[in-house]
Amino acid sequence: MDVQSSTSSLVAPINLDTADPAVLLRDRAYDQIKAAIRLGQVQPGQPLSETRLSKQLGISRTPVREALQLLAQEGLVQVIPGRAVTVAAPSLHDVMDAIHVRFLIEPEVARLAAKHINDSQLQTLLNAQAGLDTAISAGDRTAWSRADNIYHETISAACSNQLLGDLALQMRNRVSYLSIDAQGNWERLVVCTVEHQHVVNAIENHDSEEAARQMRQHIEAYRESIIRRLSHR
């Protein structure tokens, strides 16, 4: 899994003095590499070098290799045994399939979250929504993406069916690079933030059917925006 890349530093070093010893180095590497992919700092099809990543993170290659294996399981990277690891580059058909699955399951995830979300999760969700609003006001696409990740991860965590919540995140991972690319359309991000707020309002009110309805409308609007963007390539 070691192909050299001309990419500049993708990840910050892991501070071993301040890092939580309970968190495995593999998991820290996983979080940082995943963030680089989701934030569009690496592009679909771009090679990832174990050696380069381990040097950037300041750790050995073993936890980096394990992190890449986890990311491969989630569909964020593709592994060619003995040759290379690259950022996943799904086909248009794969992308539309993943969005279709999201349309089918994420309304149910939101519906269950509205019923079962606890106070701590709700506060995290409200903070994520506030982060989206602040990012829009500041014109900060990176901050918006980070808040969006927390938003969706929190809703999935609040879902009483964790298998369903995990599947929702997995499908979202498969099209994450399109989500970043779509940030070039700032008007869509503004509208998307409003859509997120509607879902939050329903979850906060524990209105499960309204939460499902708002999430369904959000995914449909996302699907249409992706189709429009891809049709103009």
pLDDT digits (tens, 9 = 90+) for 85-100: 998 877 778 888 888 9
The answer to the question of residue 5 being in a domain is no
What CATH number has the domain bearing residue 76?
1.10.10.10
What CATH number has the domain bearing residue 171?
1.20.120.530
Confidence check: pLDDT of 44 > 70: yes
Confidence check: pLDDT of 218 > 50: yes
Say how many domains are in the chain. Answer: 2
Boundary of a domain, candidates 61, 87, 113:
87
Confidence check: pLDDT of 19 > 80: no
Q: Which one is predicted more confidently, 180 or 13?
A: 13
Boundary of a domain, candidates 33, 58, 87:
87
The answer to the question of residue 118 being in a domain is yes
**Domain check: are 75 and 178 in the same one?**
no
pLDDT band at 10 (very low <50, low <70, confident <90, very high): low
The answer to the question of residue 49 being in a domain is yes
**Domain check: are 65 and 138 in the same one?**
no
**Domain check: are 46 and 112 in the same one?**
no
Alpha-carbon distance 219 to 185, whole Å?
16
Buried-state track 151-188, b at ≥16 Cβ within 10 A, e below 16: bbbbbbbbbeeeeebebbbbbbbbbbbbbbebbeeeeb
Q: Is 58 left (phi over 0), alpha (psi -120 to 50) or beta?
A: left
What would the mean pLDDT of 199-228 be, rounded to a whole number? 94
**Domain check: are 99 and 191 in the same one?**
yes
The answer to the question of residue 193 being in a domain is yes
Among the residue ranges 129-138, 167-176, 181-190, the one predicted with the least confidence is 181-190
190 and 136 Cβ atoms separated by less than 8 Å: yes
The pLDDT mean for the chain works out to 85
**Domain check: are 225 and 128 in the same one?**
yes
The answer to the question of residue 2 being in a domain is no
pLDDT the model gives residue 146: 85
pLDDT the model gives residue 7: 43
What would the mean pLDDT of 188-199 be, rounded to a whole number? 95
Domain region containing 61:
25-87
pLDDT digits (tens, 9 = 90+) for 130-154: 999 999 999 988 788 889 989 999 9
Boundary of a domain, candidates 56, 87, 118:
87
The answer to the question of residue 6 being in a domain is no
45-49, 60-64, 210-214 — most confident range = 210-214
Please enumerate in sequence order all residues whose Cβ is within 8 A of that of 185, keeping only pairs 6 or more positions apart, or say none: 225, 229
Is the whole model's pTM more than 0.85, yes or no?
no
Calculate what percentage of the chain has a pLDDT beyond 90. 51
The answer to the question of residue 156 being in a domain is yes
